[in-house]
Amino acid sequence: MLEVAALAVEIQNSEILRNVGFKVAAGELVCLVGRNGAGKTTTLRTVMGYITPRSGTIRLADMDLIGKSTLERARLGIGYSPEASEVFGELTVAENIALPTWTRQTEKSPAERIDLAYRFFPNLRRYEARPGTHLSGGERKMLSIARTLALDADLLLLDEPFEGLSPSIIPGIRNSIHEIVRLGLTVLIAESELQHVPEYADRIYVMERGEIVFGGSLDEARRDTTVRQIIGETL
Partner 1 sequence: MTTANPTTVRVDSTRSFVKLAYLAPVIGFIVIAAFPYAAGPHYTILMFSAMGFAIALLGLNLLLGYTGLLSLGHAMFLAIGAYTAAYLTSAKIMTLELILLTSVAVAIVVALPIGLLCIRYVKIYFSMLTLAFSMLLYSFLFKFYLITGGDEGIRIKLPSPLLFDMSNLGTLAALTGPMYYYVFGMLIVLTFLMWRITASTFGLGLRAIRENEQKAQYLGVNVQRYRLIGFVIAAVYGALGGVIVGIPVGLADPSLAYWVQSGNLIFMLLLGGYTSFFGPILGSIVFIFFQDQLMSYTEYWRLTFGVLLAVIVIFFPNGLMGIIDPRRWWST
Binding site for partner 1 (CB under 8 A): 48, 50, 69-71, 73-75, 80, 86, 88-91, 95, 98-100, 102-104, 147, 151
Q: Which are the contacts of 189, defined by CB distance < 8 A and separation ≥ 6?
A: 29, 30, 31, 32, 158, 159, 161, 177, 197, 198, 201
Element (H, E) at 60: strand 55-60
In the bound state with partner 1, the residue whose beta carbon lies nearer, of 47 and 230, is 47
Minimum distance from residue 214 beta carbon to partner 1 (Å): 29
Beta carbon nearer to partner 1, 8 or 98: 98
In the complex, minimum distance from the CB of residue 1 to partner 1, in angstroms, rounded to a whole number? 18
Q: Give the nearer residue to partner 1 in terms of CB position, either 81 or 176.
A: 81
The C-alpha atoms of residue 152 and residue 90 are separated, in whole angstroms, by: 23
Nearer to partner 1, 133 or 226 (CB): 133
Q: At its nearest, how many Å lie between partner 1 and the CB of residue 14?
A: 22
Residue with smaller CB distance to partner 1, 108 or 228: 108
Q: Shortest distance, CB of residue 146 to partner 1, whole angstroms?
A: 12
- Nearest distance, CB of residue 18 and partner 1, angstroms: 25
Is 57 in contact with 31 (CB distance < 8 Å)? no
Task: Give the residue among 24, 83, 3 at the shortest CA–CA distance from 50.
Answer: 83
Q: CA 108 to CA 114: how far, in whole Å?
A: 10
Note whether 202 and 44 are within 8 A (CB): no
Residues found in the chain = 235
Question: Which CB sits closer to partner 1, 6 or 63?
Answer: 63
Terminal CA-CA length for the chain: 29
The least distance separating partner 1 from the CB of residue 171, rounded to whole angstroms, comes to 27
